[in-house]
A and B are shown apart, each in its own frame.
Chain A
Amino acid sequence: NAGVTQTPKFRVLKTGQSMTLLCAQDMNHEYMYWYRQDPGMGLRLIHYSVGEGTTAKGEVPDGYNVSRLKKQNFLLGLESAAPSQTSVYFCASMGENSNTGELFFGEGSRLTVL
């Protein structure tokens, strides 16, 4: 049981390049989230999805787009990367019947924008 898997784990981009981060979960979870984590800060919510085909904005959505075409996958796209998007990105999922709101996180994707 892999849980939540993120690819790639590391990536270096030049300013203006585009890329997509892939998140896959095998727990049949309805809800999925993308967070970013910067040094000395907690995680901040970028976008989230409450089900296949639905997405919504979180705290810091600017410069990112997402898609949830399949229940198990949640993609995060950067259309034109900027140095301010250098960060560690975490995907998370949660079951709709959770009693505790427990989020299951992937191992993170470290992105550097030069």
Chain B
Amino acid sequence: GQSLEQPSEVTAVEGAIVQINCTYQTSGFYGLSWYQQHDGGAPTFLSYNALDGLEETGRFSSFLSRSDSYGYLLLQELQMKDSASYFCAVPLTDSWGKLQFGAGTQVVVTP
């Protein structure tokens, strides 16, 4: 079966950098996605990596290494509003929308 592992919680101060790691085991691989979810809110899409390397979108970057079955989300210049849960996800099959999510990493940003 498929599985994803990510840390349950990370705490950091404003302005710091946080890296959230995600390791996965899949029968086939079609890409790694990241979603952000604030308490009581809906998950929102952050990024998607299909190929090895770093994808940068503003303060957030996502990295993938297919040979290591590993990826990470990098949050730079942390702001209080970045306090949220972050989920990595992989497609269950070659259908992108059928995602298997990790359990989520809660990021707590302190002043």
Total CB contacts across the A-B interface at under 8 A:
66
* B99 close to A (CB within 8 Å): yes
- CB of A109 to closest CB in B, whole Å: 11
- CB of B39 to closest CB in A, whole Å: 11
The complex places the Cα of A63 from the Cα of B44 at a distance, in Å, of: 27
User: B44: which A residues are within 8 A, CB to CB?
Assistant: 105
The complex places the Cα of A57 from the Cα of B65 at a distance, in Å, of: 31
CB distance B45 to A102 under 8 Å? yes
CB distance B101 to A101 under 8 Å? no
- Which residues of B approach A to under 8 Å, CB–CB? 4, 8, 31, 33, 35, 41-45, 48, 87, 89, 91-92, 95-104
- Which residues of A approach B to under 8 Å, CB–CB? 31, 33, 40-45, 48, 50, 58-59, 90, 92, 94, 98, 100-108
